[in-house]
Structure 1
């Protein structure tokens, strides 16, 4: 049985060779290989975390931009409404001022016309009274008859009519 048998020396030698090979592989191959795999795992985990953080930041920035756009639109709408309100008020004020000014100018024109009319009437009265005095003095001076008086009155009335 020895030829086919089991040799404990070969078995021990195989186990010692296997353990030595395992230790060598562990020290020179498995250690660096597992280290590379761990490093790769760590890098992939970091990239996933960084990507997730970037995605969250992008979503937050997008939400902020949407809010900012809504705020800008709201502010623009308020500015437009305020401008409409102000322009409407200014238009009403301008129309009111124009009406007030037109009414004032009309009243001044009416007063000026009335003053000029009163001046004309006053001037006409003074001319008529001056003419009456002149006619009376001429009549007294000349002591003329009725026909001459009529001619004299007509003459002065023509003069008054010519002066107007």
Structure 2
């Protein structure tokens, strides 16, 4: 039972040792421990603040990136529209040029046809004129022979012309 009820001397020396250890620990251990705890708390707070700042910056960068993407899409749409417009303009210009060329070729062909037609008509007129002169010449030669002979001769010439 002696262990359960300590003596007064033991209590005194235990209390004195505890107080000495307490003072030594307070002076040399608790100060640095509390100081390191304060530094750690400050470091953690700074880290949290930095994390929040980085998070805000990332959100801002994300928004800027989305704006850039929207602008890029808009520019792409504009470029595609301009390309389509340019293509349509070039196609329309080519069609107009082709129509102009076709009309020019048709007009030249019509002019050539008209020129050949006029040349053919002139040639036919010349041939008719020659025939008339020949017929007239023959008629005048035969006129001296008599009216019946002249009519027979004209009839023969007309039949001769029809055969040719």
Q: Does 1:148 align with 2:153?
A: yes
Query: Residues 31-110 of structure 1: matches in 2 within 5 Å?
Result: 31-110=31-110
TM-score normalised by L of structure 1: 0.68
Root-mean-square deviation (Å):
3.1
Structure 2: unaligned runs, 5 residues or longer: 1-11
* Map of 1:121 onto structure 2: 121
Higher relative contact order (CA closer than 8 Å, sequence separation 6+):
1
Q: How far apart, CA to CA, are the structure 1 residues paired with 2:49 and 2:93?
A: 65
Q: How far apart, CA to CA, are the structure 2 residues paired with 1:59 and 1:23?
A: 52
TM-score normalised by L of structure 2: 0.68
Structure 1: unaligned runs, 5 residues or longer: 1-9, 160-164
Divergent runs of 4+, >6 A? 140-144
Q: How far apart, CA to CA, are the structure 1 residues paired with 2:31 and 2:141?
A: 159
Aligned length: 146
Write out per-residue CA displacement over residues 72-104 of structure 1, whole angstroms, 9 at most, x where no aligned residue.
Answer: 122123223323433443444344334433433
Write out per-residue CA displacement over residues 9-62 of structure 1, whole angstroms, 9 at most, x where no aligned residue.
Answer: x7xx95x973x4344203542134224313321321231122022112201211
Q: How far apart, CA to CA, are the structure 1 residues paired with 2:122 and 2:134?
A: 18
* Map of 1:130 onto structure 2: 130
1:137 deviates by 5.0
Q: How far apart, CA to CA, are the structure 2 residues paired with 1:33 and 1:119?
A: 125
